[in-house]
Structure 1
Amino acid sequence: MSEASTVRDGEDQRVTEAGLTREELLGEVQLLAAENARLRAQRENRVRRSYRRAAAGFFVLGVLAAVAALAVPESQTVLFSLAGVGLFVGVLTFWLTPSQVISAPVGDRVYSAYAATGRGLITDLDLQETGVYVPAPTHTAEAADVRLFVPQARRFVVPKASELESLLVVGGDDRARGVSLVPTGAALLAAFEEGRGDPASTVEEFASQLADALVEGFELVDGATATVDPDGGAITIGIRGSSFGAVDRFDHPVGSFVAAALAAELDTPVRMETRAADDRRSEFVVDCRWGEVGE
């Protein structure tokens, strides 16, 4: 018997298999909610403490360099420069400490809803599995100027930039029909460009910057290794340990960021495909090609 009814003090109460009344179950739920909130706060505090420890380390470095500059006059220029850098980075790290931390599973679930929508579009509109990232105006402040074009025809051509402003691309050329979306990587690219240092002078250097951003900047993966074929117009990035689950899903943030960044940097359409590199689906490969991207 899964559930029974009892009468106590004139009130009808539900008793579960575990022998708990409704009020007792509500109490258990409240305790679990409180514990969950405590653990979440504990995790956020731990992250904040790690940032503040790093800030304190830079402060100490700056102070020690300043003291050393006073003690060693012949090296004052270098030491005062080091002191300034240490104090500046310390202040920056302290004030940029995140006030709210979103766990990877939560982010993965949010992305999964978007991926399911994309998969539904491909199925219902009979689109191809190919994704082409095209430099085009998006008219949003939060995302870089790149669109994701998913063609309908197997032998397709990339639409004009003006045609990509609409969700449904239904121009005169049947080969240029499909859907145009703001990719997940466009928002990441906007953040990457804001914090980026000197521009890369070669495609190899830019690919290395993208791999570092995936690991260190956005913490989307545990490891990323880039291989470049500039003459063939291709970049391959091996991915290990994705924070957002399987990378071979629709417009996954990892592949989307790499393809969107390449499209914006090279100012040319980039075709992106992903695949699993092992049976455990813990490692993936992101292939990006530019030049002749159509079929």
Structure 2
Amino acid sequence: MTTTDLDSAADEPTNERAETTVSEAGSDRDDRYGPSERDSLTERIDRLEAENERLRREYARLRGTRNRARATGLVAVGLVAIGGGFVLHDVRNVLFALGATGLFGAVLIYFLSPGTVVTAGVGERIYAALATNQRAIAGALGLEDDVRYVPIPASERTLATCRLFVPRYREYDLPDADDGPIVTDENARGLALEPTGMRLFHEFERTLTSDLASDPSLFAVQLVDALVEVLELASSAEVDVVGNRATFAVSDSAFGDVDRFDHPIPSFFAVGLAMATAQPVAVEVTDGDDRADWLVTCRWEERRQRETAGDEQ
């Protein structure tokens, strides 16, 4: 017998044992997840998916039914009030006004009832991805952590707005209104982005029933009320204003940790104060104390001008 034959003969038992082991492992897997169990699991998944779909349809149906019932009730109240106005002449004006209000409210509920609702968890995940990407871009460009919310005055073509400026140098000039998103001016090099809080601030303005307060202390209270009652981004918030500093104590953020890049809560506060004071606003977020989960400190001050163009890092 040659050396090759001996090697082949020595390999045969090993191959047989390997095949046996694989066969036994496959047999074990088959025993563990047999056809009947796989069919049963598939059937259970199908039933759960069908049940979820049925619950979604039922929820949509109940919501529509509830809105229609409310609208019908308001229509009934409106018609009764208007009918009473024709009979009770002494209170005719009041009843007609009540009837018109009821009919108008019914129209609003029927045609303007909310549709799809995005949960806070979904919104938080979307924000987290955007914040991670923006922070990564700022890091790749070698930008500072000293972020400013810069007000941009209104012009003939645009309304007043605000920009989030992330500078390249520790000493810098603020960008012009038309600069961005990447500012290449040597004295104002950095990123100039639309802050998360800008559109939230516009939503806050639309819901106001009175003018914006001119005093920063009163205006900060308006921002706190809007954050909790209108935007519902936190369960509670308080504010303390001293000089050119406002410290917001925030609890139960709907979008997770508040100390991330351009988080909606500090961004909303900073944008609002920048628009109200017409000054750049710096933000510092720290862990909370016995008052709240987070402390958001906003400071507004005169513009810092870069002293020399050669202070590069």
TM-score using structure 1 length: 0.73
2:217 aligned with 1:207: no
Aligned to 1:10: none
Larger Rg: 2
User: What is the RMSD computed on CA atoms of the aligned residues?
Assistant: 3.9
Tell me the amino acid that sits aligned with residue 105 of structure 1.
G
2:30 aligned with 1:30: no
Aligned to 2:238: 225
Tell me the amino acid that sits aligned with residue 267 of structure 1.
A
2:207 aligned with 1:195: yes
Aligned-pair CA distance for 1:179: 1.0
**1:37-87 deviation per Cα after TM superposition (whole angstroms, max 9, x unaligned):** 445555666766776677677667766766787787666556654554454
Change (3 A) 1:87 1:74: same
Say which is worse superposed, 89-98 or 254-263, in terms of deviation.
89-98
Tell me the amino acid that sits aligned with residue 181 of structure 1.
L
Q: 2:30, 2:68 → 1: CA distance?
A: 50
Q: 1:261, 1:233 → 2: CA distance?
A: 14
Tell me the amino acid that sits aligned with residue 275 of structure 1.
T
Aligned to 2:195: 183
Q: 1:92, 1:146 → 2: CA distance?
A: 33
Aligned to 2:184: 170
Alignment of 1:1-295 (within 5 A): 5=26, 15=30, 23-41=39-57, 80-81=96-97, 84-136=100-152, 145-163=161-179, 166-173=180-187, 176-203=188-215, 204-229=217-242, 232-278=243-289, 283-292=293-302, 294=304
Change (3 A) 1:22 1:215: same
Aligned-pair CA distance for 1:221: 1.4
Q: 2:44, 2:212 → 1: CA distance?
A: 56
Change (3 A) 1:278 1:270: same
Q: 1:40, 1:129 → 2: CA distance?
A: 44
Q: 1:104, 1:265 → 2: CA distance?
A: 28
SS at match of 1:235: strand
Q: Which runs of 5 or more residues in structure 2 are unaligned?
A: 1-20, 306-313
Aligned-pair CA distance for 1:149: 0.9
Is the Cα contact below 8 Å between 2:249 and 2:292 reproduced in 1?
A: no
**1:256-282 deviation per Cα after TM superposition (whole angstroms, max 9, x unaligned):** 122223323433322222222159x97
Tell me the amino acid that sits aligned with residue 121 of structure 2.
P
Say which is worse superposed, 217-226 or 50-59, in terms of deviation.
50-59
Is the Cα contact below 8 Å between 2:149 and 2:270 reproduced in 1?
A: yes
Aligned-pair CA distance for 1:180: 1.5
SS at match of 2:178: helix
Aligned-pair CA distance for 1:111: 0.9
Aligned-pair CA distance for 1:253: 1.3
Say which is worse superposed, 53-62 or 25-34, in terms of deviation.
53-62
Q: Which runs of 5 or more residues in structure 1 are unaligned?
A: 7-13
Aligned-pair CA distance for 1:107: 1.1
Q: 2:253, 2:175 → 1: CA distance?
A: 32
Is the Cα contact below 8 Å between 1:144 and 1:186 reproduced in 2?
A: no
TM-score using structure 2 length: 0.70
Whichever structure has more strand as a proportion of its residues is 1
Is the Cα contact below 8 Å between 1:132 and 1:150 reproduced in 2?
A: yes
Aligned-pair CA distance for 1:255: 1.6
Aligned residues: 276
Is the Cα contact below 8 Å between 1:168 and 1:178 reproduced in 2?
A: yes
